Amino acid sequence: MANCQMKKAQKYTMGKLWNSTSETVTLSGKKVWQGSHDADFPETIEDGDQNDVPGSVVGLVYKLHDATRWIVAWSNPQGEDSKVYIA
């Protein structure tokens, strides 16, 4: 009988960010805890635009012209419940 080992597939999350702030937001920080560290996150998101963002456990910070920060983070680690944080 063959010996089979089951491997868990790495979860991968593709999210959409939609900007409705009436201005362009600019990426000012990012942290990838799990997922592709080489992922291309959008540097800017124009008003009314949306962009796909990849990663399993990621945090992004976008800045508006008045220095207000938009923070979005999500956690979709293998074997755990998924979470989304927005501030």
Backbone angles phi, psi at 56, to 5 degrees: -100, -45
pTM for this model (two decimals):
0.75
Q: Is residue 68 part of a domain?
A: yes
Structure tokens at 69: 């920060």
Contact 41, 53 (CB under 8 A): yes
d(CA 6, CA 73): 30
Q: Is residue 4 part of a domain?
A: no
pLDDT in tens, 16-28: 888 999 999 999 9
> How many structural domains is the chain composed of?
1
Q: Is residue 36 part of a domain?
A: yes
Q: Is residue 66 part of a domain?
A: yes
Q: Is residue 1 part of a domain?
A: no
Burial 40-73 (b: 16+ CB within 10 A, else e): ebbeebeeeeebebebbbbbbbbebeeeeebebb
pLDDT band for 76, please (50, 70, 90 cuts): confident
Q: Give the pLDDT of residue 53.
A: 73
Q: Is residue 37 part of a domain?
A: yes
Q: Is residue 38 part of a domain?
A: yes
Q: Is residue 2 part of a domain?
A: no
Domain, as residue range, for 72 = 14-86
